[in-house]
Structure 1
C-alpha cells in the first residue's frame, strides 16, 4: 500500500493510494482508524487494475493536525483537488458514516464522478431529529457492545498478525493527537453547513446505500436517495461497520456501479 502526504493550507493530508482505472475514493467514518486499513479487505477484493484513494482526515490516522479552524466543506475541497489530480475518467465514492457528509460536500467538485456508494452514511435526520422507533432506541442501548462487535469482526477478517498491526497502528496514531486536536475535528463536523441546507445527491448520480435493515426507510427518505433508476438501498449486516462484515460483497457492489 503506497502512501503520500500533501501539504494544504489546512494541514498535512496523508493518503493510501494505487494508480489505476477506474478510481475508487474511500471515505472513512469518524474516529481513529486509518482509512486504508479500514477498507483493506474491500480494496483487496477489487480488481487489481482499479485505482484507489484512501485519505485520512485531518487530526486522525496518518494525517497531521489542523493548522486553523476548518469545516468538513473546507477539507472536502482540498480532497477534491487531490482527487482531480489523478485525472481519472471514472470516479466512484465509497463512503462510510461521516464520510457521507464529505461526499456530499465534494460531489460537485470531483471531475467524472460516476456513482456514490454509502455504507450507513450520516444523515441529517439521525443527527438533528433521530427517529423514535423502537429499533433505534434498542440499537442505542447496545452501543456499548459496538466495540466488541468491531473486534470480533476484525478477528474474522484479518489474520492474527494483520489484527495486531491494525490495533497497533490505531493506537500509535491516536497518541499523535491531543484533546485540542480532537475538539478541532469535532468542530469541523458540528460547524459545517451540511446541517443547515437541504443539499441532496443529484438524480444524475446513481446512489447505492448499504445499511442495516432497521434504517432502510431512513435512507429511502434521506438526502442520499436519488430518483436515478440505478439508485437503491441494500440491507446487509448487523453492524454500523458493514465493510468489516462483508468486504467482498461491498467490492462487488462497487464493481456493479462502475459497469452502470
Structure 2
C-alpha cells in the first residue's frame, strides 16, 4: 500500500502527514526547513518492507502543513504530533529523527504509546546550541547553504526524484512568509528543552547516527543512555546522512524490529 497524504486540524494549525497503515510503525521527523518529510526520508522508506507502517508528519509553517494559527513552542507542537502517532494504535513504534527532529522526538518520548526505540541522525543537542564545541572539525562543518543542498540532492537522488524533491520544496517554501518562518524559529528558541538537564531514559533503545567528528559530543549528550542495545554509529560526510546511507539506516531500523 502506498503512503497517502492526509491532514489533521489541531488548535495550533493543520498538520500534513504521509501515512501508510501497518505494524510496526516507523515515524520520521525532519530537521528544520521547508522539506516534505516523506521526500526527505524517501531513500530510507523505499528500503523498508511494505508491511511496515509509515508516518511522516510535516511541521507547521513547513512542508504541506499550514501556517500556525497561534503562538506555540516546540513542545506544544510535539504534543500534537504525539497524539497523531498514538491515533494509529500501533503496538510497536520507532522514531527516526534528523537534526532538530531529535528534539521533537526527545520531547515526545514519554507520550508515545509502545515506543521501542529512538533512531536519531545527528540530532540537535543542547550543547551544540548553548555551548558549541571548539574543536576545529566543527568550524570546518559550518552551516551549509541551499546551493550545497540542491547539488547534494542532484548527486544522491535519481534525476526524476531530485527534480520533484526540489520543485516540491521550492513550492512549499513559497506558501510561507517571513513571519511564518520567524514563528517557527521562535517555537524552537523559547522551548523549555534548552533549560532542562534530563536524559533519555534507559528503557528506550537509542541508536545515534553521526559523522565521526561528533561522536564525543553524542557520548555526553542527552540522547545517549545505558540501554545495552544503544549505540553510536559513525558514517556520513555531511549532515543529511539519510541521503548518503539509506541502506545502512534501513538495516538499523529492521534489526531493531527483528530482535
TM-score, normalised to structure 2, is 0.96
1:135 aligns with: 137
2:23 aligns with: 21
Q: CA deviation at 1:91?
A: 0.1
Cα separation, 1, equivalents of 2:141 and 2:102: 21
Is the 8 Å Cα contact of residues 77 and 106 (structure 1) preserved in structure 2?
yes
Q: Gapped runs of 5+ residues in structure 1?
A: none
Cα separation, 2, equivalents of 1:132 and 1:10: 38
Which residue of 106, 112, 115 maps to 1:113?
A: 115
1:164 aligns with: 163
1:239 aligns with: 238
Question: What does the per-residue CA deviation read over 1:96-153, in whole Å, with 9 as the maximum and x for residues that have no partner?
Answer: 000000001110000000100000000000000000011112222xx34x54553343
2:86 aligns with: 84
**Which SS does the other structure have where 1:243 is aligned?**
helix
2:211 aligns with: 212
Cα separation, 2, equivalents of 1:107 and 1:202: 9
1:62 aligns with: 64
TM-score, normalised to structure 1, is 0.96
2:12 aligns with: 10
Is the 8 Å Cα contact of residues 75 and 107 (structure 2) preserved in structure 1?
yes
1:94 aligns with: 96
**Which SS does the other structure have where 2:221 is aligned?**
coil
* Alignment CA distance shift 1:245-1:149 (3 Å): farther
1:38 aligns with: 40
Is the 8 Å Cα contact of residues 32 and 174 (structure 1) preserved in structure 2?
yes
**Which SS does the other structure have where 2:60 is aligned?**
coil
The two structures, once aligned, show a CA RMSD in angstroms of 1.1
Counting matched residue pairs gives 257
